[in-house]
Amino acid sequence: MTLTPDLETYAEKMRQRRRVAAHNLRAARRLQRQGDQEAAQRIENHLDAKCRYGDLYPNPDRRADLLGHLDSLKATLADLESQNSLPEVSVTAAGQAIFETFKKAVVLYAALAQAARF
């Protein structure tokens, strides 16, 4: 399966975000080696977030990464839908936008996973 132009653009943006994040992490590690305590804290925060939530931007070329992220999105969406939220929140435009965003992301990541190269 090949990607549509929209999906290819989204995948390229994911690659760019991953490059920027990797660059920032390398820069923080260089600063940490020079004794910068704030850099050490940034690295610790990054590792803690990655341990808790996984990669923020999965590799768009690896099917396993995308499927793992897709499972996480589906679990979060199911959790949101199963909660007995207040009616005044769930019927608001903002509340509906959250559900729609998750639903679109599930479809998007499923399509990317089908077209992944590895």
Residue 105 banded pLDDT, cuts 50, 70, 90: very high
Of 50 and 31, the structure prediction assigns the larger pLDDT to 31
Residues 100 and 26: their CA atoms lie apart, in Å, by 35
pLDDT in tens, 37-47: 999 999 998 88
pLDDT in tens, 58-90: 888 999 999 999 998 999 888 888 876 666 566
- pTM recorded for the entire structure: 0.75
Cα-based angle 21, 22, 23 (whole degrees, multiple of 5): 90
Domain that holds residue 59: 5-115
The number of folded domains in the chain is 1
